[in-house]
């Protein structure tokens, strides 16, 4: 007896009312794409559940893929039986024997959504629990912290027995909430901001600023490796690499030292906004956390944001570094971000950047030089790559597909 399907729980999607069907369809499409390596799998959709039929495909490998799909609250491998008590007992006993360690504990968690079934939940718990106690040696019941929690669901379409609940990513399905532009550096924060935006269903395209020879190809590859980690959650991510050397050199020539960081951020934001427009994105996301560095005070944000009316969304705004590092560890970007290859922001940081820059002053400083030709050139010479989850290969944008 083996697990023959995976029961998927929607979580937040159940609150979506009239739009629920759209989100469920999107989730189904994303699951199908994430499981394309497992061609025998099939997906069945019901009102409040979804099932992945394994049809012989390996559960452990399918589990790894499903655990990264946004929109899944949790899932459980299950054995489907007829609504027959003896069959249910046999499936529950098989699951316990597979997982049991001598001296271990278990509990039965029965749920009966089909009220026509002759046994209620209390009776199911008793009947199945008794069967396990009779047939398994050296095991006891623990209803609070059991080693094995056998979940039995009686539904209209059958009975489903499982011994595991795997927490999913939650949130909304990938690409269900519009497109956004992520300002992606090689640091710890911006990948986490991208992940959190993606978790809310945003289709993220990343913009990275590259300043050779001040920043190396290894710094660029570091960002692409980070993008490949983010792509594992959405299937693929587009990365725009902006040549920024000439602009940074001109900033350090034309702008007073204390304001070079503010001007650099303003130029980056202007370029990111142009790339956003070209790619029909609706907002710009970044990894700013309030007060973390000089460019992330409210005064700095005000002076930097002045160059655009586009919404600037900051998923990390109220997080501290410990919280951010925790998420970076969970999504496996922290080690990459800690590689000793610096991006253009850290290379060109002035010794004493203004923490409370004045908007009128930076506007006056920048007005003494025509920046438009340099900005237009940077946008025109931007290199676009597509990083896919499968193989993490780079591809020309002309070959972009769903995943």
Looking at the structure, do residues 158 and 197 belong to the same domain, yes or no? Answer: no
Residues 75, 207 share a domain: no
Task: Kindly state whether residues 210 and 358 are assigned to the same domain.
Answer: yes
SS3 at position 96 = helix
Same domain, 77 and 148: yes
**Residue 201, domain CATH:** 3.40.50.620
Same domain, 24 and 97: yes
Task: Write out the H or E segment, with its range, that includes residue 358.
Answer: none
Is pLDDT larger for residue 231 or for residue 403? Answer: 231
User: For the stretch 277-292, what's the b/e string if a residue is b when 16 or more beta carbons lie within 10 angstroms of its beta carbon?
Assistant: eeeebebbbbbbbeeb
Indicate whether 139 and 209 sit together in one domain.
Answer: no
Give the percent of the chain with pLDDT over 70.
95
- Asked if pLDDT for residue 115 goes beyond 70, the answer is yes
Between CA 75 and CA 79, with CA 76 as vertex, the angle to 5 degrees is: 145
Contacts of 154 (CB under 8 A, 6+ apart): 83, 110, 111, 112, 113, 114, 117, 124
Residue 174 within any structural domain of the chain: no
Say if residue 401's pLDDT is above 60. no
User: What is the H or E stretch that residue 187 is in?
Assistant: none
* Of 8, 150, 167, 13, the residue nearest 90 (C-alpha): 150
Asked, for residue 173, whether it belongs to a domain, the answer is no
Query: Can you say which residues are annotated as belonging to the binding site for ATP?
Result: 183-184, 208-209, 265, 287, 296
CA dihedral 314, 316, 318, 321 (to 10 degrees): -150
Taking the C-alpha atoms of residue 361 and residue 71, their distance in angstroms, rounded to an integer, is 46
Same domain (yes/no): 295, 199 = yes
Give yes or no: residues 200 and 158 share one domain.
no
Q: Looking at the predicted structure, is the pLDDT value of residue 148 above 90?
A: yes
> Are 216 and 126 in a shared domain?
no
- The closest alpha carbon to 57, from 70, 47, 48, 66, belongs to 66
Same domain? For 148 and 202 the reply is: no
Same domain, 155 and 199: no
62-111 tens-digit pLDDT: 999 999 999 999 999 999 999 999 999 999 999 999 999 999 999 999 99
Q: Which residues pair with 285 in a beta bridge?
A: 182, 313
Q: Which token pair is 279?
A: 């790619």
> Phi-psi region for residue 332, left (φ > 0), alpha (ψ -120 to 50) or beta?
left
Indicate if 19 and 150 belong to the same structural domain: yes
Question: Which domain does 361 fall in, by range?
Answer: 179-399
- The 8-class DSSP code of residue 362 comes to H
Q: For the chain, what is the domain count?
A: 2
- Alpha-carbon dihedral sign for residues 66, 239, 397, 200: positive
- Domain end point (choices 133, 167, 201): 167
Mean pLDDT to the nearest integer, 229-251: 95
> Where is the binding site, in residues?
183-184, 208-209, 265, 287, 296
Distance (Å, whole) CA 165 – CA 247: 52
Query: Could you tell me what percentage of the chain is helix, strand and coil, using 3-state DSSP and rounding each to the nearest 5?
Result: 40, 20, 35
Give residue-wise pLDDT tens across range 244-282. Answer: 999 999 999 999 999 999 999 999 999 999 999 999 999
Q: Examine the fold and report which residue of 109, 140, 167 is the final residue of a domain before the chain moves on.
A: 167
| Dihedral over alpha carbons 47, 53, 58, 59 (to 10 degrees) | 30
């Amino acid at each position: 007896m083996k697990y023959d399907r995976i029961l998927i729980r929607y979580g937040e999607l159940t609150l979506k009312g009239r739009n629920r069907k759209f989100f469920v369809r999107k989730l189904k499409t994303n699951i199908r794409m994430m499981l394309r390596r497992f061609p025998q799998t099939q997906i069945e959709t019901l009102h409040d559940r979804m099932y992945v039929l394994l049809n012989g495909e390996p559960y452990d490998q399918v589990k790894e893929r499903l655990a990264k799909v946004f929109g899944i609250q949790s899932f459980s491998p299950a054995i489907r039986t007829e609504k027959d008590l003896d069959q249910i007992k046999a499936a529950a006993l098989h699951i316990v024997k597979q997982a049991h360690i001598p001296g271990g504990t278990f509990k039965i968690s029965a749920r009966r959504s089909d009220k026509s079934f002759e046994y209620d939940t209390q009776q199911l718990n008793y009947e199945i629990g008794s069967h396990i106690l009779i047939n398994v040696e050296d095991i006891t019941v623990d209803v609070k912290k059991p080693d094995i929690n056998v979940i039995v669901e009686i539904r209209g379409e059958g009975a489903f027995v499982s011994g595991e609940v795997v927490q999913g990513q939650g949130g909304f399905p990938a690409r269900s909430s519009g497109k956004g532009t992520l300002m992606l550096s090689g640091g710890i924060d911006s990948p986490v901001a991208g992940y959190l935006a993606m978790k809310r269903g945003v289709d993220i395209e990343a913009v990275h600023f590259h300043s050779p020879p001040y920043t190396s190809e290894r710094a660029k590859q570091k960002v692409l490796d980070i993008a490949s980690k983010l792509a594992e959650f959405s299937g693929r991510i587009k990365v725009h690499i902006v040549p920024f050397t000439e602009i940074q050199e001109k900033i350090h020539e034309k702008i007073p030292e204390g304001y070079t960081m503010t001007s650099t951020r303003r130029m980056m934001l202007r370029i990111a906004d142009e790339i956003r427009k070209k790619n029909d994105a609706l907002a710009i996301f970044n990894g700013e956390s309030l007060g973390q560095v000089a460019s992330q005070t409210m005064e700095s944000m005000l002076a930097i944001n002045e160059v655009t009316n586009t919404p600037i969304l900051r998923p990390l705004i109220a997080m501290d570094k410990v919280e951010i590092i925790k998420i970076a560890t969970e999504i496996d970007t922290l080690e990459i971000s800690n590689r000793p290859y610096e991006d253009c922001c850290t290379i060109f940081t002035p010794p004493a950047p203004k923490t409370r820059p004045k908007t009128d002053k930076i506007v006056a400083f920048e007005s003494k030089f025509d920046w438009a030709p340099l900005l237009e050139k940077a946008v025109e010479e931007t290199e676009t790559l597509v990083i896919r989850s499968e193989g993490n290969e780079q591809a020309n944008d002309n070959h972009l597909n769903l995943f």
